Structure 1
Amino acid sequence: MIRTVATGAAALVTVVALSGCSLLRGSDTALPAPSDPPTASRSAAPTPSATPDAASEGDLLEASATPRAPTPVATEATVPDPVLTPIPAGTVLTEGDVASPKGSIHFHYRVVADGDDTFTAQYSGVTSTLPVPIDVGFFERERQVGDGLTYRGVGDDVLGGPTSSPLAKSVPLDGSGVDPSGLVTLVVSSAAQPGQADVPIEIGADKVLAVTPVRWSVPARQTNVHPVDGGARANAAGPVTATTGSGAPRTYTVARNDLIGDVAARFGISVKALVWCNEGVQVFGDDQYLYEGTSLNLDPLAR
């Protein structure tokens, strides 16, 4: 997902307020001219249609002299702030035991919520008989023992070298987003130094030593951001490139001439909510154009 730096919430609010207003047009129909006063040749008792009622005519003239107030238009300032209820602190989201195929590595892990949309991985009872330090990290894809890593995963941390005394450690799960359940595998790899002498190739630097599937139990969360695709339109003509399990739009790719206000309107959310889902999104120009090819997140749980 491409993310860049926002130009500022105030500018966004101003743009949306201006682009959202629809001024009322004045009436193009002229008021009827007052009837001529009665003359001697006319009936002393003119019909109502010949002479407008004085009170009615006065009301019309007064109304034409007093401009009508424009209909109030909703702006970003009146839109509720987007929210996502946090998972209570201390909630255990997953836990299990890890063991390498040959029994050289053992430990217990669990992930707990910190209560502010961040999470901590806790490792306990860690033992290893290998002559190299071991690293642990979470991955979005499955891995195989013996694979070589070029990336050590989310929340990667070195648990230490050979030990016969169980150790415990807590590690912030940085990079998981507000919903870590997309991390499906816990991987233990070798933290040996590249080119380290006397280290067998199977436990060399970045070799996968153990793989454990991760099964999450994440409580349901509440949000007031519910995007629904209203269909391509002028200044919001890009494609939806992914959907959630429920079929809601998840990611959108910006097309040429897309405006941030029109893209938000296409999905039935505020500009404020779109920026909240895409921290650092960049716009340019007075009309707040988005950069073509930018991928926008529409899922509050994938922030």
Structure 2
Amino acid sequence: MNRTVASGATALVVAVALSGCSLLGGSDGALPAPSVPPTASRTPAPTATETEDPDAAHIEASATPRAPTPVATEAAVPDPVLTPIPAGTVLTEGDVVSPKGSIHFHYRVVADGDDTFTAQYTGVTSSLPVPIGVGFFERERQVGDGLTYPGVGDAVLGGPTPAPVSEDVPLDGSGVDPSGLVTLVVSSAADAGQTDLPIEIAGGKVLAVAAVRWSVPQRQTNVHPVDGGARSNAAGPVTATTASGAPRSYTVARDDLIGDVAARFGISVKALVWLNADVQVFGDDQYLYEGTTLNLDPLAR
């Protein structure tokens, strides 16, 4: 998730929280389950992809998507945080050599200190008659494979480069934990319409690969979701867990309310919105859209 969006979402939540709106009540900052009418008497929740027909009897006029509103008492809840990796920390590095020795370079990834990272490609030389592209991928690739997208932290370097070339590239798209990118791929960046090239260096062909070994420092956060079990207005399934067994993602069920889902996992509404900057609710009770997948892992924001 882009840090700018996440920070904007948190600022929005805090500002709304201070406006005095109250969803769940309580004087001590806790998030007790709200008192709501029986499920059968409420407006059914539309799915995230459902087209809202203003003439349909089961969709109320007030059910307009909007940003969630935490209760006023959440103003006292600490803001969610994830400690950044110190700037300049080297998270991975290595050398890349193509099978025939036509391409050589060194790579490394360093932390920028603000939940972003930079891929550094140095000493790049190539004797091939085509530009080369480099990028990180979430799964293994093989020399000779064809690519349909250039990867994360991708850069295009010139044609034959007898003098070493260096390039620093933002690792956009990696999230706050880049260790899921397991392969560095070098591919031909030749024009896809160029037909006079040998097939092995045609546009998009993988020329070299390197397995990436990460050393990511442990991050600290004050958001620790724990599944308290399905309940009224928070009855969906946990659809993934982390390596430690903590809930990683949750799929919204019909009639789920954002306050009850947050309470089920022992976190504040503010934290749930921090984890899901684009989440939307509808209706005065703040229903979530059925079928929406919510992230519960701070490292996957």
Q: TM-score w.r.t. structure 2 length?
A: 0.79
**Structure 1 249/178 Cα, relative in aligned 2: closer, same or farther at 3 Å?**
same
Aligned residue in 1 for 2:198: 200
TM-superposed deviation, 1:144? 0.9
Task: Identify which of 215, 218, 222 aligns with 1:217.
Answer: 215
Tell me how far apart the structure 1 counterparts of residues 124 and 140 of structure 2 sit (CA, whole Å).
22
Q: What residue in structure 1 maps to residue 26 of structure 2?
A: 21
Could you list the runs of 5+ residues in structure 1 that have no partner in the other structure? 23-72
Tell me if 1:93 matches 2:98.
no
Distance across 2 between alignment mates of 1:250 and 1:296: 9
Matches within 5 A, 1:143-292: 143-292=141-290
1:6 is displaced (CA, Å) by 7.0
Deviation at 1:275, TM superposition (A): 0.8
After superposition, the C-alpha distances for 1:40-88 in whole angstroms (9 at most, x for unaligned) are: xxxxxxxxxxxxxxxxxxxxxxxxxxxxxxxxx9821111000111110
Measured in 1, the distance between the counterparts of 2:204 and 2:300 equals: 29
Alignment partners' CA distance in 2, 1:205 and 1:16: 56
Number of residue pairs matched by the alignment? 251
**8 Å contact kept, 1:17–1:76:** no
How far, CA to CA, are the matches of 1:277 and 1:147 in structure 2? 36
Alpha carbons of 1:6 and 1:90: their partners in 2 closer, same or farther (altered >3 Å)? Answer: closer
Cα offset, 1:282, TM superposition: 1.2
Tell me: CA distance 1:159–1:183, structure 2 relative to 1, closer, same or farther (3 Å).
same
Residues 142-180 of structure 1: CA distance to partner in whole angstroms, max 9, x if unpaired? 111111111211111112221111111100000111110
User: Do the aligned residues in 2 keep the contact of 1:15 with 1:286 (CA within 8 Å)?
Assistant: no
Q: Which runs of 4+ in 1 moved over 4 A?
A: 5-8, 10-16
Distance 1:128 1:122 in 2: 17
Q: Write the distance in 2 (CA, Å) between the matches of 1:216 and 1:13.
A: 41
Contact 1:235 1:259 in 2 (8 A): yes
Distance between the aligned counterparts of 1:74 and 1:18, measured in 2? 8
Q: Percent identity?
A: 82
Which structure 2 residue ranges, 5 or more long, are not aligned? Answer: 28-70
Does the 8 A contact of 2:21 with 2:72 survive in 1? no
CA distance in 1, matches of 2:216, 2:21: 36
Q: Which structure is higher in RCO with an 8 Å CA cutoff and minimum separation 6?
A: 2
**C-alpha contact 1:16 1:261 (8 A) present in aligned 2:** no
Q: Which residue of 1 aligns with 2:112?
A: 114
Amino acid in the other structure paired with 2:285: D
Q: How far does residue 195 in structure 1 lie from its aligned partner after superposition?
A: 1.8
Q: Tell me the TM-score normalised to structure 1 length.
A: 0.78
Q: How far apart are the structure 1 equivalents of 2:294 and 2:211?
A: 30
Residues 5-64 of structure 1: per-residue CA shift (max 9 Å, x gap) = 979525567798332338xxxxxxxxxxxxxxxxxxxxxxxxxxxxxxxxxxxxxxxxxx
Q: How has the CA–CA distance of structure 1 residues 15 and 250 changed in structure 2, closer, same or farther, with 3 Å as cutoff?
A: farther
